[in-house]
Amino acid sequence: MKKLFFVILINVAFAALPVFAQDAQDSEGGFYYVKVPIAKIYPYAKGYVVTYNVGTYGTEIDTVYLPASWFSTKENKGAIVHLKATPVVPNITVYYRNGEFDHVKLYVRESYSDPSWGYMPLQTNIDDRFENVTDVSLKLSVTKE
């Protein structure tokens, strides 16, 4: 019975995470970030497909497409940070400078067998979704006051 209670408690905690989506701002340089938990991340030949929870209760899912070229030292628009600690929730953090997209960081589990990682079927062709991607805009329904 205790295990069932613990599992339910963990599920409720994960469902509530979008409520705590962070939005921080550095008033001096106009540098801020938006951080939301990742529902699933899919490696693809042209980049990464990231699905994330939207809304107060995380009932809606949205998707962003991050080109592989962003994660090269040439473009340097993206970074992947592998998480070893279990309590840390995989997330996508998008950084903005003066209101413009600057870069993105993916905080993901180190093990690809983790449930946060997914796999695209081989016959999937979504190459066009990675073309002409210049920024990342996360859809959030959390309102600022």
**Region of poorest pLDDT, from 75-79, 84-88, 122-126:** 84-88
The answer on pLDDT for 93 being more than 90 is: yes
pLDDT tier at 84 (50, 70, 90 boundaries)?
confident
Percent of the chain with pLDDT over 70: 75
pLDDT at 73: 86
Read off the pLDDT of residues 55-65 as tens digits, 9 standing for 90 and up: 777 678 999 99
pLDDT tier at 48 (50, 70, 90 boundaries)?
very high
The answer on pLDDT for 49 being more than 60 is: yes
The answer on pLDDT for 35 being more than 60 is: yes
To the nearest whole number, what is the mean pLDDT of the chain? 81
pLDDT at 26: 42
Q: Residue 69, SS3?
A: helix
Q: How far is CA 131 from the centre of its chain?
A: 19
pLDDT at 24: 47
Give the H/E segment covering residue 51. strand 47-54
C-alpha distance across the termini of the chain, in Å: 41
Read off the pLDDT of residues 7-26 as tens digits, 9 standing for 90 and up: 454 554 455 444 444 444 44
